[in-house]
Each structure stands twice: as structure tokens, then as C-alpha cells.
Amino acid sequence: MRTRTPLLLGALAAGSALLLAGCSSSGEASASDDAPDTIRMATLPLSDDPNAVTPVEELQRLLGEETGMEVEITDVPSYSAAIEAVRAGHSDIVMMSGFPSALGVNTGEVDSLVAWPGTDEPVSTCLVLDDSPLESLEDITPETVVAFADPASSSGYFMPIHMLDAAGLTKDEDYQALMSGGHDRSFMALQQGQADVACTSTIFPPMAGQGTPMFPFEEGETRSIGESISMPIALSVLGSQSMSDEKRAALLTGIPAVWSSDNADLLGLYVEGIPEGVEPIVEPDAAVFQPFVDIAAVAGVDISDLE
């Protein structure tokens, strides 16, 4: 069964580390694992386009086959809502990029079940339209509007903020930040002239000319004026601490089998963020997320001691 109605988790703003900290320390009891034979997965919508086809059914089928359990998949509206769903035990798992995973792990109430190391390749790129007068990050001025996807997004916020900071550019001083609400919305803002620069994941520009709403540009319509450093962890599947031991064991073996290059054609964007040739880390130590804590500090977010 697939539930498409977003979880009602209160007024959780996207990417709010302070809200996550508040929820974690509120004393509210986590939900018990009242569905021991059902894996409940939270997912973030891949696109706001209602006509976009996402391989949810394939993911549901593959995970069910590998674990021998029923799988329910529920869309949630934001990174922080997804983390809170897992933290509170309403969902068993969610797949996240590095920074949201670090946010969850550093609460001490969410585990990383499986993580995929990053590569030496840049994670983020800052794009402009081809006819833009901006040739490099050094050309950005206090009047320049830079669009970011989500304040808890690794490739759409934290890594670009770090990139811009390394170029001597401080948010809200040396440029104007626009929080678009999603990678595709950043591209819309760039198209419509609401933003001069769109900072996003490097996975999107190769989609040019494919007619996908995820990157609605033809080849040559955009160009990069800067790229970020790499990340130690590319993706991680976060897990609830309230799930049964049986379910956890099934997921620890099932997750690496499902999210693999063997299923790339079936799962599409769900596995495109996994670097080729890297082996997943099962039950990684929290220390692997420390570099994200350091980089997040550049964005003014302290995720080192969330409780």
C-alpha cells in the first residue's frame, strides 16, 4: 500500500535545525513499532510537477522482495519533516543526503543504517544562464540574487554556501539569498529572471535537453561559474531506533541490495546520487558525519550538539 498524504507532523519548517532540537528534547514519547511486518518509508517528492513519473512502485517492490516484508511509502514535505517522522517512530527509514543525515544522527535519536561514501568529485555547482554577465563567483555583487533549494539540502544549500564563503562571499552581505523550496524551483527562478544564479547538485546539468521537469533547460542554456568541494558521505538511509530487531536486520541486508547500480534503470533518480564504484558502509559510526558539522558551521548552523 502506498500512502500519498503527507504526514501531519505539525508546523515543521524545512531544514530548521532548531525545530529538530526542540522536538527531540520535548519529552514526547516516540511511537513504538506497531507494524513489525511492515517497513514504513518516508520519501521527499522528487518534483513538484504532478505529471512527473517517479519509480515509487519499483522501489516498493524491490525493497519488499529483499526484506520479505510489506512496504508502505509516504511522501513528506521537507527534510526536517522526514527526519522528525523517523525520530518519532512514525516512519522506519528515509534516504537523505549528507547534511540532513548529519542533522538526524546528531540528535542521538536517529541511526544511520547504511551510508555511501562520496567521491573526489564536486557535489554542487552554481549555474547562470548562458547570456549572464557573471563569468565567475568573483563577479557576484550585493545585488546578485542566488537561489538555493532548501536550507537543509546538502547540494542545494550547505555545500554552495561553503563554496561561496571560500570565494569570500557572505550570505545577505555580498549577495541576496533566495530560498526557492526545491532544486526545480531554483531552476524556475533562474528561467524567469527571479534569480541570477541557481546553486544545485551536479547531477542536474547532464539532464539538459532530456525534457525532464527536474532540469528544464536545453544544452548550452546554462553554464557553471563555480563548483564545490566533495563530501565524505554522499547518501545515507536513516532508521528509527524504535523499530524491531527483526526489521532492522532485514533492512541492513536489504538496503544495499536495493540501492545498487544493478537497479539503476528501475530506480532512476533514487540511485543517481550514489557514486559509482563505492561500497556502502553498514551501520556507520557517527564520526563519519563530523565533516558535515564543520561545513555547516560556515552556514551558521550548529548541528554538533543537537539533543
CATH of domain 124-227: 3.40.190.10
Indicate whether 15 pLDDT > 50. no
Query: Could you state, in order of their start, the residue ranges of all structural domains in the chain?
Result: 2-118+232-298, 124-227
Positive or negative: CA dihedral 207, 269, 195, 297? negative
pLDDT band at 205 (very low <50, low <70, confident <90, very high): very high
Beta bridge partners of 75: 43
What one-character DSSP code corresponds to residue 171?
A: B
pLDDT for 45 equals 66
Residue type, 107: T
pLDDT for 297 equals 81
* 2-118+232-298 and 124-227, same CATH topology: yes
More confident residue, 151 or 249: 249
Question: Which residue, 141, 139, 97, 159, is CA-closest to 301?
Answer: 159
SS3 of residue 135 by DSSP: coil
More confident residue, 57 or 268: 57
Do 81 and 27 contact (CB within 8 A), yes or no? no
Alpha-carbon distances of 58 from 37, 77, 80, 209, 264, rounded to whole Å: 19, 21, 25, 25, 11
Indicate whether 18 pLDDT > 60. no
Q: What does the DSSP assignment read for 73-115?
A: EEE-SSHHHHHHHHHTTS-SEEEEEHHHHHHHHTTTSEEEEEE
Q: How far apart (Å, rounded) are the C-alpha atoms in residues 38 and 177?
A: 42
Q: What percent of the chain has pLDDT over 90?
A: 58
pLDDT band at 35 (very low <50, low <70, confident <90, very high): confident
Q: How far apart (Å, rounded) are the C-alpha atoms in residues 30 and 44?
A: 21
The most confident of the ranges 7-16, 29-38, 213-222 is 213-222
**Residues listed for the chain:** 307
User: What is the average per-residue pLDDT within 185-208?
Assistant: 96
Indicate whether 14 pLDDT > 50. no
User: What is the average per-residue pLDDT within 255-260?
Assistant: 95
Q: What percent of the chain has pLDDT over 70?
A: 84
Indicate whether 196 pLDDT > 80. yes
Indicate whether 10 pLDDT > 80. no
Question: Which residue, 15, 66, 3, 10, is CA-closest to 299?
Answer: 15
More confident residue, 39 or 2: 39
How many CB atoms are closer than 10 A to CB 132? 16
Provide the CATH topology of domain 2-118+232-298.
Answer: D-Maltodextrin-Binding Protein; domain 2 (3.40.190)
User: What is the average per-residue pLDDT within 135-146?
Assistant: 98
Question: Which residue, 206, 238, 236, 249, is CA-closest to 224?
Answer: 206
pLDDT band at 302 (very low <50, low <70, confident <90, very high): low
pLDDT for 145 equals 98
More confident residue, 114 or 97: 114
Element (H, E) at 193: none
Q: How far apart (Å, rounded) are the C-alpha atoms in residues 74 and 167?
A: 40
pLDDT for 32 equals 56
Mean pLDDT of the chain: 84
SS3 of residue 177 by DSSP: strand
What one-character DSSP code corresponds to residue 6?
A: P
Q: How far apart (Å, rounded) are the C-alpha atoms in residues 299 and 158?
A: 7
pLDDT band at 307 (very low <50, low <70, confident <90, very high): very low
SS3 of residue 70 by DSSP: strand
pLDDT for 12 equals 26
How far is Cα of residue 236 from the mean position of the Cα atoms in its chain?
Answer: 9
The most confident of the ranges 4-18, 104-118, 243-257 is 243-257
pLDDT for 2 equals 34
pTM (2 d.p.):
0.66
Indicate whether 170 pLDDT > 60. yes
Lookup: cell for 121: 568529485
Lookup: cell for 94: 528515509
